[in-house]
Amino acid sequence: MPGVESVGRYRPEFAPPLDPYPATPPGWNGHADPPSWPQPYGRPPGKVRWTVDAPPGTPYQRLARTPAQRWWRPVLGTAAILVAGLTALVPVMIVWVLVEAAIQGVDPGILFEALGEGGGPLLAGDNSELAFTLVSLAVFLPFIPLAAWGLQRRRPGTLSSVAGRIRWRWLGTCAGLAVGATVVSFALAWAVSPLMDEPADEGAWVGWGAFVAPLLIVVLLVPFQATAEEYFFRGWLLQSIASCTLEGRTGGVARRLAVVFRTPWPAICLTSALFVAGHGYTGWGILDIFCFGVIAAWLAIRTGGLEASIALHVINNVVAFLFPAALGLLDLEQGSIALPAVVADVLPLLLYAALVARLADRRALQTVTAPAQDPAAAPATP
């Protein structure tokens, strides 16, 4: 039967025509490159962030210990801060000489020559010397966060606190406590003055005409000078030294040292010693400045930020400059301090530290970096 033989047999007349090229995408006119076929859904690769954060739960002193941390970064950063600050002082010196020449009515060349010889009438009076001293320290301030961002690859705000910023309300609270501690300090200094070998000169009110200039200088410049010192010593140096914990070292000596360097005390003591070296005090004055540095560093760690130490430093310096200026006793020379005066200064600092720590506990102040956000609780993104 012819119909039976044809069942299941290949019949060329019913085969589709052969096409040597694959089908083209719809909408292609044959002249331009064909459009790409739809791809599976996927998130485009994001940009790599320059800054690297410390792990969640990191205390303030270890905020520089990020995955990008290397031993040479703090060393290079410290050198960069010092070089940049000293370089910035050059135009400051030039402007200062020109202003002083105009005030004194002399040829600027004379002052430049005196500057090159390391003396002369460059700083005419205590007010000029005070202003220049404060400016020469404040000029370092902007280079500290730049070093944290550019060389340590971390957010500049991590120098301020574990919250990544200055906590202004907390700073104001600490400033109020610092005023009280300063009042207590002056009261104790007056009480122990009979114990001094050489009683201090009581001075006399200089009058508003002579007091306005130092008042403006101190109020306008001391906050920047004191803040710069806190960001460098209790911020940059404290975090840089504390980031070297020696964890993971296999040597016997290194393992024993790691037990000590995991605590904040090496960083506290080293930065306080460097803080003393940056001043010109002698005798018991060295102990006074060292105690100030230790208490300020401990407060930064205890409260998770620089607010308490900045408030203390600013209020202390404002009063320390204005009080003698009002009595005509302003003297920028740093020398020896009698032991009773040191005790009268350190005891209020300890009281301030205790009150700040107590208040931080009552307010449940953040002292470590925030924990990582739970992905399940994160808002959905399209």
DSSP string computed for 45-76: PPPPPS--PPPTT-BGGGTT-STT--THHHHH
- Among 68, 97, 254, residue whose Cα is nearest residue 77: 68
Which tokens go with 60?
Answer: 């303030």
One digit per residue, the tens of pLDDT, for the chain of length 382 reads 455 444 455 555 555 555 555 555 555 555 555 555 555 555 656 677 899 999 999 999 999 999 999 989 999 999 999 999 999 999 998 888 888 888 777 788 877 776 665 554 445 678 888 999 999 999 999 999 999 999 999 999 999 999 999 999 999 999 999 999 999 999 999 898 888 776 666 778 999 999 999 999 999 999 999 999 999 999 999 999 998 876 666 667 767 777 777 899 999 999 999 999 999 899 999 999 999 999 999 999 999 999 999 999 999 999 999 999 999 988 888 888 899 999 999 999 999 999 999 999 999 999 999 886 544 444 444 3
What is the residue whose two structure tokens read 């504390």? 242
Question: How high is the pLDDT of residue 126?
Answer: 82
Question: How high is the pLDDT of residue 120?
Answer: 46
Give domain limits for the chain: 60-363
Q: What is the largest CA-CA distance in the chain?
A: 139
- pTM (2 d.p.): 0.83
Cβ atoms < 10 Å from Cβ of 326: 19
Interatomic CA distance for residues 122 and 116, integer angstroms: 10
Question: How high is the pLDDT of residue 4?
Answer: 47
